[in-house]
Structure formats: C-alpha cells, structure tokens
Structure 1
Amino acid sequence: MSSSLVDAKIDSKSVEAEGLPELPSSSSFKGEENKISRTPIDYSSVKAFRTTLATRLKTTFTRRFIYCLIAGQVISWCITGTNTLTTSLVNNGFNAPTTQSFFTYFALFIVYTPYTIYRYGFKGWGQLLYKDGWKYAFLAACDVEGNFLVVKAYQYTNLLSCMLLNAWAIPSCMFFSWLLMKVKFRWTQIAGIFVCICGLGLLVASDNLTGKDWEASVMWKGDVYMIAGATLYGFTNACEEFLVRKRPLYEVVGQLGMWGVVVNGIQSSALEHNTWFEITWNGPVAGFLVAYTACMFILYTLAPLVYRSSSSVFYNLSILTSNFFGLLIGIALFGYTPYWLYFVAFVVIIVGLIGYFWFTPPEEEAAIDVTRPVYVNQVESESSEHIAGLAIGDLVKSQQQRETAV
C-alpha cells in the first residue's frame, strides 16, 4: 500500500472521528450559521416592532438552540429521576451513595471503552492511556468527589442552603470556562444567568413556603461541603467541555467511566464495605438501581453534547428546572399539592435560557475541532505501512515461487 493511500485512509478516519449519533455540531449548521444575524429591534412603530421581533425570534430559535434547550430539559428530567430513585433506594434500606454511583461509571466504561478500542485499536488505546490517561483520571476523581461532597452536604445542612449554594456551580463553571477556553461573557448572557438564578430563588421560596425544608444538624459543615462540591461540579463541567470540543465523545466519556470505576471503587470499598452486608439485596432494590443507572447514563451521554453545541454554563442553567419537574413527579406519585410559584419559577428559568442566547448565538461559543489524537493516527499509519509491507513481501515471494517452478 502506498503512503498516499495510507494517508488517505487516516484522513477519512479523522473525518469520521465521532462515529456515534450526536447533537449537530458546528459543521452541521454551516449554512444556518452564515444566516444568523441578530437584527436590532425597532421601536419606532408597532409594525416595525412586530417585524423586527419576529426576525429576532427566528434567528434565536435555530435548530441548534432548540436541540440544546430540549436536551437540557431531558437532562433535568434525568436529575429529577435520580433524586426520586435515590429516595426510593433509601426507603428500601439501600444507603450507600458512593456504591450507587459505581454502577453508573461501570456502565459508561463497558459501553464507550470497547468502542474506543474498536476505533483506535489496542495500540492506539494504550497510547491514549500512556499520554492522556492522567488527565482523565484527574477529571474522574473530581467528578466522583464532587458527587460525594454534595451528598454529604445534604446530611448536615438544610434544603434552603443546599439549593442556594449548589448554584455556586454556575459562577464556578464560568470562571473555569474563561480560564480554559478564554470564553468572554457578554452582558446579555450575564443578564440571562441572573434571570435563571431569580427563577431558582422562586423555587427555593416555594420549597420554603410549602414546608419542605428540614433542620440542619451542623450547618457550617454542610455549607462547606456544598460549596466544595459545587466548585468541583463547575470545574468538571468546564473541563469536560474543553475536552469534547477537541476529542471524540466516546473517548472522553469512556475514559471518564473507566477512571471513575477505579476511583469510585476504591472509595466505596474504603467507606462503605460494611454497608454492603447490611443492604437487603432484593428485586425492588435491583430495579431502582437499574433505573438510576439508566438515568445517569443518559445524563452523562447527553451532557457532553450540550457542552459542545452550546456550553457547560448553559448546561448548568438548564438543570435548574429539575426542582419543578420534581414537583410534577410528586403530584403524580405522592399526591403533592402544587404551589403556583413553582410554575412562575419554571417560566422565569426558561426565559433566562432564551435570554442567554438572545444576542449571542450558540455558534459563537468556543471553537469545535474534534479530531482523534495525533499519536493514534501515527500508530495506525505504522500499522498500515507494516501490513502493506507484508502484502508486497507475499507478492514477491509468490512471484519467486512461480519463477522457480517454471
């Protein structure tokens, strides 16, 4: 095989780096992206106002924005589902949150890592572990500890503090996005963030007015845990966005799952090994665990797509609606009485999400350049050249044998 054919083969695989169905990336919207321009709204007359407003809405609600908005709300539903299922697990005697998360990382590992090996080959995957494994191990450790600290916070502080301090993940994510990707936030985006946080405030007020709060045992300790966990959430979201804008999704999520299994497995063995023998392993517990893992699997798969198509900050704003969806589940399953302020809060958060991209389209976020690692292509090139050399050698040998026979 000639070197030009080898290069052509590598380039074609680089173009097909993803190989999995995803939300459209920037390349899918090139035609649409060129048409996007935020028309100023004309207030000179009613007719001019209506015309320019209609144009602005059309350029705001692009396919890409609608995909991001819907995906964000699906993730919010997944978070609501995991909260409900965790409550069901605790009620059935399963109180091992770190062990509970282990199944999520294991599911990500067994689905995405084999596919990564298929795409990269064993040598390429080995090079990935050798060259970049430490980055993914650090990311997984931060993700595991963020989940652990937030769960611990709920044991010490009250619901009001948890909800408010968990919003610290938003400015934390903004800071790390600026640090890693040099993202510049316009005043309109900051205004959209402010509106979303106002919606969160209404949700917190609704929970407080309906008596859902509880007494804090050691409030300062719970608050410290929550701030630390929210900071790690912001950090891991921004880091994962940085990675999925440059690397295939299956590589990033597969590595996160693999190293998450290692870190989470060590931590759960150290902290919860005695609890394993106290748990009643029965059908309902197994069913809740499977459902919880399925919700988290969807979340960890969709989140990087939202990061890539919009941003990790937009992701954090989107999941603020999870409390509203929790109310809907409470009405359906537990007979909760809906409080009118919840619905207002939901509308306010959605308005904030629209406002975030009202002047700045998602196409103007950090650049997307998804390619396989250079060292994987080099390994494949060497392999292809070796195979080509063997093929040529076989042809020469066969020719020599024919000549000898003659």
Structure 2
Amino acid sequence: MVSGATPAPRMEAQKPDSPAPHQLEDGADSTTRSVTTKETARPMVRFDSPSWLLKSLWARFASIWTKRFVLSLLAGQLVSLCITCTDVTTTELVNRGWVLPTTQTLFLYFTLFVVYTPYTIYKYGFVGWGKVVFYDGWKYCILATCDVEGNFLVVKAFQYTDLLSCMLLNSWAIPTCMFFSFFLMRTRYTWTQLAGILICICGLVMLVVSDQLTANGGHEVHDKAKGDLFMVIGATLYGISNATEEFLVRKSPLYEVLGQLGMWGTLIIGTQAAVLEHKAIVNVPWNGPIAGLLLAYTTALFIFYTMAPIVYRLASAVFYNLSLLSANFFGLLFGLFLFHYRPFWLYFVAFPVIIAGLVCYFWSATPESQGNVDPRSPSYIHQEDDKKDSPAGRG
C-alpha cells in the first residue's frame, strides 16, 4: 500500500434471493453479474462419423455467436478503429512539427476527469468520493502511472520510428497482459485460447510481410532503435495497466474507475508536462489544423477509454489486446490515402485471419468464464448511507 490507511473492504456479493439493489452499479444484469453460475458449456465435438463431426463442429461454431460475444467482437473493433485514429493523428502532428507527447495526452485525462468525476460525486456524494480517494486512491494512482507513462512512451516513439513499427511492437502488450491477468485474477488459458492468440499473431505477421514487400513508409525515421525501445517499454506498461484495469472494473463501477483514472492521470501528466515541455509549448505551431488534429486525437481516445472497460467485462483484457491487432489493418487503410501505401495481397487476408483468431479464442472457453463481473460501489459509501437512514442518524 502507498498510504498507511487500511482500505475498507468492498461489500461481498449478496445471495440471489436477497439482492441489495442500491449496491448494484452500472445497470449490471444477471448476464454479467452471475457469470460464475450461468456459464454455458460448449457442445461436444463428436467423431462417430464424418456427418456427426460436421454437425457437431457446426453446433460448436454456432454456440460461439452469443449476444455477449458479438457485442465484445464489435466493441473490440471499435476500440481498434479508435486507436488507429490516434496513431494516424499523432503521426500527422509529428509531421507538422507539433511534438508534445505529455501535453497531447493531458487533454485526454482532463476530459475523463471532468466527465466522470462529477458523476461519481453525484452518485457517492462529495464525502463518499473523498473516501474513495482516501481508501482506494493508491490503486488508481498505480493504474494511472502505468497508463500515463505508457501513453507518453508510445507517443514519444513516433518521433523516432515509423507508424507501422509502432503498431507492430505495440502487440507486445498481449503476453504482458496475459502474465499480469494470471497474477491478479488467476486466469487460466485453454489450448484453443492459445491457438487463437497464435492465429491472431499470424494475421499480424501477414501485415508485416505485406508492408516489407511493398516498402510502405510514413514520416521520416530519425532513430529507429530508440523509437522501438520506447514502444516496447510503453507496450509493457500498457499490458500491466490493461490487466489492472480489468481487475478493478470487474469489481467497481465504470464511472468510478474512469473518473479516478482521469483525476490521477491529470495530476501525473500535468506535472510531467510542466517539467518537460514548459519551454517547448511556446515554440510548436498552434493553428487550426493542429487544433483539429488534437480534437480528433482526444475524441478518439476518449471513446477508446470509455469502451475498453466494457470489453474487459464482456470478454477480457487479453481479448481486448487481440482485437487491437486489427488496428494494423485499419492503419494501412488510412495509409493508402494519407501516406500513399501500396498494399500487397496478404494485406487483404490478414484482417479475416485476425477475426478467425478471435473466434478461436472462445472456441472452448466462453466470455462468461473469463471472470466474475460484479460491480459494486464501496461498502464504506453504504455504511454512511445506513447511518443517515437509521433513527439515530435522523434524530
């Protein structure tokens, strides 16, 4: 722990026959709340005969396409498109001589803070929000530190290496996220999930080969080794923050997690920007196109940060990171128009291969099996409410 205070425990899950409605948050229903009791097994694959094999394979394939899986697949592609937009806008900002990585992401954290913190105060009360900061703030500070420095290093990497290298090296977040998911939540992976990861990586390799054969470029590369190192360290921090945020968001309301992330992120990166970029901020160009790019970057990243916890709940942080691999496909689509890329035929095969890997990831396992989703506001909030509602408190 960072502080000497002992955080009060969160409320234990109530029995199904005696729910506490005032403690359930985010409109969570039985689909997401009781995943440990409503997990559905996949149909067995039968090898009795060729016809039975085909029928059972089709039944297994059809069982994957539940509402929850489809939503997680679509949400994953939305965040993938958002991250591509941030990569492209960052590349354009670098090309225009606007290189302030900490200031650039400061806008994001401040937006998260001003949107989600007031709603948290509305739900908990100002005193309740203060207790969240006092008891659980150290957790969110660690999350924000990993996230802020990951964003800083990733944006910094664009100064030294090219767009595609940045997106490819960012995939290092996958094994990092797997390790910390196991460490924090004891997540177990089936062989089909590992196979799905390998299939997604194969799709990524196709994009790499396509890029190398066509010699696609981006902005001028100044120090590729340095930029690649920044990207690898940033991807490692991303993996840590993704697993940590999934751990938190499965237990806490979205607005609490995002509001705290925005608050601590604003404090950390605001201080960092004041130290590192107070001189450079007056030397970079400030004009209409720059403002438009910053607005696009912040909007895309705000949507990205809002949707990511939803994907964590619907599936997992690892599935989320696998979904981001398709950002390389979307990145090349942008590259066709902005950077005049010339696609190789493997480029068109890579995207369906990545989607096939995402389907394979849940060939045996189910989204419900990835962890319990039981978002509840902290127990100390309701202890205060109970005191106010008691006869002694009213008297």
**Would the alpha carbon gap of residues 23 and 282 (structure 1) be closer, same or farther in structure 2, given more than 3 Å must change?**
farther
Q: Distance in 2 between matches of 1:113 and 1:136?
A: 13
- Does residue 302 in structure 1 map to residue 307 in structure 2? yes
Partner of 1:393: none
Counterpart among 181, 188, 191 of residue 184 in structure 1:
188
Partner of 2:362: 357
Partner of 2:26: 18
Q: Distance in 2 between matches of 1:313 and 1:384?
A: 43
- 1:26 deviates by 1.8
Preserved CA contact (<8 Å) 1:76 1:322: yes
- Does residue 135 in structure 1 map to residue 139 in structure 2? yes
Match of 1:94, SS? coil
In structure 2, give the amino acid aligned to 1:41: V
In structure 2, give the amino acid aligned to 1:150: V
**Would the alpha carbon gap of residues 325 and 311 (structure 1) be closer, same or farther in structure 2, given more than 3 Å must change?**
same
- 1:332 deviates by 4.7
- 1:173 deviates by 0.4
In structure 2, give the amino acid aligned to 1:128: V
Identity %: 53
Aligned pairs for 1:14-53 (under 5 A) are 14-15=23-24, 17-18=25-26, 26-27=32-33, 33=38, 36-53=40-57
**Would the alpha carbon gap of residues 157 and 329 (structure 1) be closer, same or farther in structure 2, given more than 3 Å must change?**
closer
Q: Pick which of 54-63 and 157-166 moved more.
A: 157-166
**Would the alpha carbon gap of residues 220 and 86 (structure 1) be closer, same or farther in structure 2, given more than 3 Å must change?**
closer
Preserved CA contact (<8 Å) 2:167 2:328: no
Partner of 1:239: 244
Partner of 2:381: 376
Aligned pairs for 1:2-401 (under 5 A) are 11-15=20-24, 17-18=25-26, 26-27=32-33, 33=38, 36-156=40-160, 162-212=166-216, 218=223, 220-332=225-337, 336-385=341-390, 389-390=394-395
Q: Distance in 1 between matches of 2:216 and 2:148?
A: 28
Q: Pick which of 242-251 and 139-148 moved more.
A: 139-148
Per-residue CA deviation, residues 80-114 of structure 1 (Å, 9 max, x unaligned), is 11122223333444221211111111111111000
Q: Pick which of 312-321 and 155-164 moved more.
A: 155-164
In structure 1, give the amino acid aligned to 2:284: I
Q: Distance in 1 between matches of 2:244 and 2:322?
A: 17
**Would the alpha carbon gap of residues 112 and 127 (structure 1) be closer, same or farther in structure 2, given more than 3 Å must change?**
same
In structure 1, give the amino acid aligned to 2:380: Y
In structure 2, give the amino acid aligned to 1:355: C
Q: Distance in 2 between matches of 1:315 and 1:123?
A: 35
In structure 1, give the amino acid aligned to 2:329: F
Per-residue CA deviation, residues 143-174 of structure 1 (Å, 9 max, x unaligned), is 01111122333444566764554222111100
Q: Distance in 1 between matches of 2:121 and 2:66?
A: 36
In structure 2, give the amino acid aligned to 1:12: P
- 1:196 deviates by 0.8
In structure 1, give the amino acid aligned to 2:20: D
Partner of 2:10: none
- 1:49 deviates by 3.0
- 1:328 deviates by 1.9
Rg larger in structure: 1
Q: Distance in 1 between matches of 2:30 and 2:283?
A: 46
Match of 1:273, SS? coil
**Would the alpha carbon gap of residues 230 and 336 (structure 1) be closer, same or farther in structure 2, given more than 3 Å must change?**
closer
- 1:307 deviates by 0.7
In structure 1, give the amino acid aligned to 2:89: L
Preserved CA contact (<8 Å) 1:160 1:208: no
Preserved CA contact (<8 Å) 2:33 2:372: no
- 1:217 deviates by 5.1
Preserved CA contact (<8 Å) 2:214 2:343: no
Q: Could you list the runs of 5+ residues in structure 2 that have no partner in the other structure?
A: 1-18
**Would the alpha carbon gap of residues 251 and 75 (structure 1) be closer, same or farther in structure 2, given more than 3 Å must change?**
same
**Would the alpha carbon gap of residues 159 and 18 (structure 1) be closer, same or farther in structure 2, given more than 3 Å must change?**
closer
Match of 1:369, SS? coil
Aligned residues: 376
Partner of 2:7: none
Q: Pick which of 338-347 and 118-127 moved more.
A: 338-347
- 1:125 deviates by 0.4
Match of 1:168, SS? helix
TM-score of the superposed pair, with normalisation by structure 1? 0.85
Q: Distance in 2 between matches of 1:133 and 1:162?
A: 32
Q: Distance in 2 between matches of 1:338 and 1:296?
A: 27
Preserved CA contact (<8 Å) 1:195 1:351: yes
CA RMSD of superposed structures (Å): 2.5
- 1:330 deviates by 3.0
**Would the alpha carbon gap of residues 371 and 146 (structure 1) be closer, same or farther in structure 2, given more than 3 Å must change?**
same
More helix by share: 1
